[in-house]
Amino acid sequence: MPANAIYQFTFDSNTGQLSANGNADIGDGLGPRHLEFHPTKNFVYSSNENSSTITAYHFNTSEGTLEAFQTLSTLPDGYAGQTKTAQIHIHPSDKFIYVTNRGHDSIARFAIDGNTGVLTALGQTPTETIPRVFNIDPSGTFLFAAGQDSGRLASYRIDLESGNIDPLDSIQVGERPT
């Protein structure tokens, strides 16, 4: 079985059994790490660890399959350093999606077209060293990012119109926070 894959399965709700349903065609070397299903539309987004990209997929609910339709970099143009993506989360408004860049030490921001699922890059916001995990509060007002190597937790206010995140504070929380 290839490691650079998204495995698809069908689920029998009567027996609880999973059956192989092929792999999503994801492209060579992307390294999908985390998936985020759009809460109201048939779109799925993947943070791709090895390539520092995000991929948008159409989700065919009747077949249980994914079909890629867009892949974008999570990094600024010209960045050449070592980096990998980690977590990915859709904002509660369904308008924005965020991805962490470990190495570039930033949170990449994208706008989501509500009709097509197409992403538009909005830029990157610096954060703690090696931001592996983060989350957004249920109101969509705040984002919190843990720096795996800094031992700090950074807080941000989310602009609900633009999707930008503005730094608020950073506090020491201990080694390797998750």
For the chain, give every domain's residue range. Answer: 31-172
* Cβ atoms within 10 Å, residue 147: 25
Asked if the model's pLDDT at residue 57 lies above 90, the reply is yes
Read off the pLDDT band of 2 (50, 70, 90): low
- What does the pLDDT look like over 4-38, one tens digit per residue? 889 999 999 999 999 999 888 777 788 899 999 99
CATH number for the region 31-172 comes to 2.130.10.10
Cα angle vertex 75, ends 74, 77, to 5°?
Answer: 130
- What does the pLDDT look like over 145-176, one tens digit per residue? 999 999 999 999 999 999 999 999 999 999 98
- What does the pLDDT look like over 59-91, one tens digit per residue? 999 999 999 999 999 999 999 999 999 999 999
Q: How far apart are alpha carbons 5 and 7 in whole angstroms?
A: 6
